[in-house]
Structure 1
Amino acid sequence: MVPHLVTALTGPINELEQRILESMPAIERWFRLEWMEHTPPFYTSVDIRNAGYKLAPVDTNLFPGGFNNLTPEMLPLAVQAAMAAIEKICPEAKNLLLIPEKHTRNMFYLMNVQRLIEIFGLAGLNVRLGTLDESITEPTRLQLPDGSELTLEPLLRTPRRLGLKDFDPCTILLNNDLSAGIPDVLKNLHEQYLLPPLHAGWAVRRKSQHFDSYEEVAKKFAKLLGMDPWLINPMSAQVGEVDWQEGTGLDRVQTQVDALLTKIRRKHKEYGINEKPFVVVKADNGTYGMGIMTVRDAKELEDVSRRTRNKMGVVKDGQTVSQLIIQEGVPTYERVNEAVAEPVVYMIDRYVVGGFYRVHADRGIDENLNAPGASFVPLAFSESHHLPKPGMRPGASAPNRFYMYGVIGRLAMLAASYELEATDPDAEVYE
């Protein structure tokens, strides 16, 4: 299935697709060399926007949920990638402790946990679930819609290790993004592999740092292909010390919004794009599509309603927002069954393992689609994303389109690798 792209089959994106396909050997070699120098995050999902005139990642998640939205055909790829990831980290591993989010009543999320257990089970590991929810003091069974069940168990901490009763894992996999902070039970684990590392969680991580790293990666990649990095990079700015409740700092947000809109207008003029530019103001830490607003004119920030301030001031787990990233808005012109859609690419280790379209019938091309009411349509990565079909006209072939999405997803994953190296509290600093 190639979703309908409601822009002309000419223009920058089709030229970009052509250039990416023609440069495939150079691109794959470039990624190979980068991965010799940098360690990929354990697993990653990337939200991508295809505007027809540019193609860019707008969010990179290092604790991805949604594995349940991958098709069964994608499972072998995921299992092979999981095997490669585990072999690199702990070849003798036999036990894996998976720690999920605490919101354990969300059935879609639990089906994601079930899929992760299946993937790592097929990769040859004994997988059990430990919970950070201290109210769970004994093994607790949770029924899933398909009639199966998951068992959550209380964590058991010794001075240097973390496990469960009668279960001592070599590796601990977090599927909890640590928005509420880093729990003591996860600190100072020196004898086990904790994946992703603690500084990948939202208690430490900042989107602005990620997109600074992505800009660096995009410039390198654009130089390789002889193209303008703007075609794959959303411009952004960062603002700190904002208090939504008191309204302090919003003047600085307004100034940055105005400056970024001016930059976007300049680019639109350069490429003859007739779109009205917009920016997306987001919490610099956070996930689940919370703390996000679309702004088309800086004046809109002069009179922000109390309801919007409340929405922008708090994100997941009640964390207050004082740091913001202002990001160039990339509209999406993808359509699935007439509804607005955006591709989401999933990776384990350095491999693309699948993805899906996030579809929202009630949202516009310039709005956040990660919201209640979204549905998911699998991407056709089952027609191996690594086997594009050279010679077909741009935009006509699913494997070609999805290969291009996989390249952009891997660029964002590489940026996350740069980001984690730069923010690693244990890294040695050389003057």
Structure 2
Amino acid sequence: MVPHLVTALNGPIKELEQRILESLPAIERWFRLEWMEHTPPFYSSVDVRNAGFKLVPVDTNLFPGGFNNLNPDLLPLSVQAAMAAIEKICPEAKNLLLIPEKHTRNSFYLQHLQTLVRIFTQAGLNVRLGSLDEAVTEPTALALPDGGSLSVEPLVRKRGRLGLKDFDPCTILLNNDLSAGIPSVLEGLHEQYLLPPLHAGWTVRRKSRHFQAYEEVAKKFAKLLGMDPWLINPLTVGVQGLDFTEGQGLEALKDHVDQVLTKTRRKYKEYGIQEKPFAIVKPDAGTYGMGIMTVRDAKEMEELNRRCKNKMAVIKDGQPVHEVIVQEGVVTHERVNEAVAEPVVCMMDRYVVGGFYRVHADRAADENLNAPGASYVPLAFAQSTQLPRPGEAPGASAPNRFYMYGVIARLGMLAASYELEATDPDAEVYA
């Protein structure tokens, strides 16, 4: 399904699409060269916002969910990408241990796990699920909406290896973002590949660091295309030392919100954009769309009520929020069945394998859509990411639009690889 765009794709975004299509060979060569120098995350997903004048990533997830929302016809793309990723890491791999989130009763998440199991099974691996939940003491069947089931088993740690009873994997795939910390059972593993690495989890990872890396990537890419990097980069700053419950650090937060809004107004004036600028405040670590606030005026920070402070103070797994990022808000003018929508692009290794629209009928174009009540519509990415149509006018073709989404998502994935290299505790440091 192709979304209905409220605003025509004109101005900077139309020029951006034209430039990307004209530069396609140079772009693909640029990515190839970058991947020769940097290792892509094993799998990832990127939330993209299309404002009609600007196209940017607003979140990069290294423990992606939602693979069940991909177009079923695109499963071969995922299987092929999984084969390439596994062959690069462990060509002799036979067994793969998949470790999901602790709380796996959500039917949508179970379908996501079912899809991952199908992908890696068809890629030639024996796949079993092991749980970090200490309440799982024996194989436990989890019912799936289609009438099938998944079996989750207790983990078994023997010396330096992690597996299940009678199951010794070469590769361990985490689908748990480690928001609650790094379990000791995952530390100090020997001769096993743990993907993504522990420092990709939210115990170590920070969005502020990611968007610093993304800014570097955006500048390189913009130089290649001879364009303003702002068109693909949301202004982002980090703020530390906060305590929403006690009101600590809110004055500094207000100042940073004001700075982001002022810079955004300046760019809007430069490009003749009539939208009202806004900022998004969200935790520097964590996901699930929790603790996110839309701010249209810095003065709003002086009037936070108790409910809003409580919402911002704690996120997933009860983790307190002391660090946030303030990010330039980017509206989405995309609609699916008249509901506000944003594309989510899924990747494995360095390949785009599909995507979907996150749709929310009760949210506005300047609000977070990753919230209860969201629904999901598969994107027809098969021809779009592989076969853009350079001869067509900008804005006239869904494949061209989707190719742009794939380019922006890959820039986000490349930034994640920069970020992981910078935080790798085993990386060699040269004086």
Cα-to-partner distance string for 1:42-69 (whole Å, 9 max, x where unaligned):
0000000000110000000000011000
| TM-superposed deviation, 1:9 | 3.3
SS of the residue 2:373 aligns to: coil
Matched with 2:263 is: 263
The C-alpha deviation readout for 1:231-286, integer Å capped at 9, x for no partner, is 00000111101000000100000011111111001000000001110000000001
Map of 2:183 onto structure 1: 183
Q: Which amino acid aligns with 1:174?
A: L
Q: 1:255-334 maps to which residues of 2 (within 5 A)?
A: 255-334=255-334
Question: For the residues of structure 1 that align with 2:315 and 2:49, how far apart are their CA atoms?
Answer: 23
Task: Name the residue aligned to 1:36.
Answer: 36
Deviations for 1:306-352, whole angstroms, at most 9, x for unmatched residues? 00111000010000000010000000001111110000000000000
Distance 1:198 1:147 in 2: 34
In structure 2, what is the equivalent of residue 369 of structure 1?
A: 369
- Per-residue CA shift, 1:56-115, capped at 9, x if unaligned? 000000000110001111100000000000000000000000000011110100110000
CA contact (8 A) 2:384 2:400 kept: no
Q: What corresponds to 1:347 in structure 2?
A: 347
Return the letter of the residue paired with 1:244.
F
Question: Could you tell me how far 1:30 is from its partner in structure 2?
Answer: 0.1
Indicate the SS of the match to 1:266. helix
Q: What is the CA-CA distance between 1:386 and the residue it aligns to? A: 1.2
SS of equivalent residue, structure 1 residue 383:
helix
Structure-to-structure mapping, 1:113-192, within 5 angstroms: 113-192=113-192
User: For residues 222 and 181 of structure 2, what CA distance do their matches in structure 1 show?
Assistant: 37
Deviations 1:208-239 (A, max 9, x none): 00000000000000000000000000001111
Partner residue, 2:111: 111
Can you give the 5+ residue segments of structure 2 that lack an aligned partner in the other structure? none
Q: Kindly tell me: are residues 204 and 407 of structure 1, through their superposed partners in 2, closer, same or farther at Cα, counting changes over 3 Å?
A: same
Q: Is the 8 A contact 2:9 2:53 kept in 1?
A: no
Are 1:44 and 1:61, in contact at CA under 8 Å, matched by a contact in 2? yes
Amino acid at match of 1:278: F
Query: Which whole-Å CA distance do the structure 1 matches of 2:72 and 2:249 have between them?
Result: 48
Q: Whole-Å Cα distance in 2 between the matches of residues 248 and 30 of structure 1?
A: 45
- Give the structure 2 partner of residue 215 of structure 1: 215
Letter in 2 for 1:388: P
Name the % identity. Answer: 78
1:398 counterpart residue number: 398
Stretch deviating more after TM superposition (7-16 or 175-184)? 7-16
Structure 1 residue 382: deviation in Å?
Answer: 2.5
C-alpha distance in 2 between matches for 1:99 and 1:151 = 12
Does 2:250 match 1:245?
A: no
Structure 2: how far apart are the matches of 1:380 and 1:228? 30
Q: What SS does structure 2 have at the residue aligned with 1:169?
A: coil
Q: Show the counterpart of 1:98.
A: 98
Moved over 3 A (4+): none
Unaligned runs of 5+ in 1: none
Contact residue 2 and residue 397 of structure 1 kept, 8 A: no
Q: What letter corresponds to residue 99 of structure 1 in structure 2?
A: I
Superposition deviation, residue 303 in structure 1: 1.5
- Secondary structure of the residue aligned to 1:399 is helix
CA–CA separation in structure 2 for the residues paired with 1:2 and 1:83: 30
Report the counterpart of residue 225 of structure 1 in structure 2. Answer: 225
Distance in structure 2 (CA, Å) of the matches to 1:2 and 1:115: 23
Q: Partners in 1 of 2:137 and 2:374 — Cα distance?
A: 35
Q: Is the 8 A contact 2:10 2:53 kept in 1?
A: no
Structure 2 distance, partners of 1:380, 1:151, is: 31
Instruction: Please state how far the C-alpha of 1:8 moved relative to its aligned partner.
Output: 2.4
Do 1:380 and 1:398's aligned partners in 2 also have CA atoms closer than 8 Å? no
* Deviation (angstroms), 1:390: 1.2
Contact 2:42 2:349 (C-alpha < 8 Å) held by counterparts: yes
Verify the 8 A CA contact 1:279 1:326 in the aligned structure 2: yes
Report the counterpart of residue 410 of structure 1 in structure 2.
Answer: 410
- TM-score, L = length of structure 1: 0.99
Q: Which amino acid aligns with 1:200?
A: A
Partner-residue secondary structure (3-state), 1:35: helix
Query: Partner of 1:355: helix, strand, or coil?
Result: strand
Alignment length, in residue pairs?
A: 431
> How large is the RMSD of aligned CA atoms in angstroms?
0.7
Deviation at 1:2, TM superposition (A): 2.7
- 2: CA distance, partners of 1:190 / 1:37: 26
Whole-angstrom distance in 1 between the partners of 2:389 and 2:222:
22
Task: Report the equivalent of 1:378.
Answer: 378
The more displaced of 135-144 and 217-226 is: 135-144
CA distance in 2 between counterparts of 1:126 and 1:377 reads: 30
